[in-house]
Amino acid sequence: MTDERNELLSLISDLSKDARGFRDRTDYSDRTPIELRAIADAYYLESLQNQYEKACDQHEIPFDWRQVWRMNIAELQHRLSNLQKGLRY
């Protein structure tokens, strides 16, 4: 197994824990690095969505999953950053 694959598998494990509270133990040995990156990105997006929900709750901002599901990673990162700075939408 290459270093890149090991890094991606470790990243998937960490991101799945952040996103769902438990580590993904799926056997990804048949997946390409591109597929592994897509899995990691999906877990990262889910983690950001959960963080955004919590931040909205903390700031008493109305939350709608339909709106959040339309946001991409960059938009969620931007909104989370602004919420941490005390800015609202």
- In a domain, residue 89? The reply is no
pTM assigned to the model: 0.86
Is residue 48 within 8 A of residue 77, CB to CB? The reply is yes
Tell me the DSSP string of 46-88. Answer: HHHHHHHHHHHHHTT----HHHHHT--HHHHHHHHHHHHTT--
pLDDT in tens, 31-88: 999 999 999 999 999 999 999 999 999 989 898 999 999 999 999 999 999 998 876 6
CA dist 53 and 42 (Å) reads: 17
CB-hemisphere CA count at 13 Å for 17? Answer: 7
Q: How many structural domains compose the chain?
A: 1
> Which residue range(s) make up the domain with 25?
3-84
Work out the pLDDT band at 2, boundaries 50, 70, 90: confident
Is residue 60 domain-resident? yes
User: What pLDDT is stored for residue 84 in this prediction?
Assistant: 85
Instruction: Indicate whether 18 belongs to any domain.
Output: yes
Q: Which of these, 49, 86, 53, lies nearest to 69 by C-alpha position?
A: 49
